[in-house]
Amino acid sequence: DVQLVESGGALGQPGGSLRLSCAASGFTFSSYSMHWVRQAPGKGLVWVSRINSDGSAADYADSAKGRFTISRDNAKNTLYLQVNSLRAEDTAVYFCAREGVVGRHYMDVWGKGTTVTVSS
């Protein structure tokens, strides 16, 4: 089965850092672009970042530029999101998602999400 499993969500201190992980299985991870999408409590989906299949290029939402870093390890079939200088507004469920066939610009497989709570 095609599967994405996120981990690393935690209670973080304002100003602190967290690294989220997303383990992929059931498909050729190195062939797909991957995304992070977040959802604050009771709010809608917000795209955070995308990385291409070989990790050579990444894009970020304006709200993520400067504090978020997306990366991947194709040997480990794992996607990462480093979040620095945590803010209360980063509190959300973070989903990883697979982009459809190259250049298709939609997300066809999603993980169940990992929860980040930022509070002192």
Partner 1 sequence: SYVLTQAPSVSVAPGKTASVTCGGNNIGTKSVHWYQQKPGQAPVLVMYYDSDRPSGIPERFSGSKSGNTATLTISRVEAGDEADYYCQVWDSSSEFVFGTGTKVTVL
Q: Name which of residues 37 to 66 contact partner 1 (CB under 8 A).
A: 37, 44-47, 50, 59-62
**Residue 72 lies near partner 1 (rule: CB under 8 A):** no
Note the helical H segments in 10-67: none
Please give the size of the binding site for partner 1, defined by CB under 8 A.
23
- Taking the C-alpha atoms of residue 38 and residue 93, their distance in angstroms, rounded to an integer, is 6
Rule CB under 8 A: choose which of 35, 70, 78, 80 binds partner 1: 35
- Taking the C-alpha atoms of residue 104 and residue 39, their distance in angstroms, rounded to an integer, is 23
Q: Which among 78, 71, 70 has a CA at the least distance from the CA of 29?
A: 78
Neighbours of 117 (CB within 10 A): 14
As measured in angstroms, the least distance from the Cβ of 15 to partner 1 is 27
Residues in contact with partner 1 by CB under 8 A are 35, 37, 44-47, 50, 59-62, 95, 97, 100, 104-108, 110-113
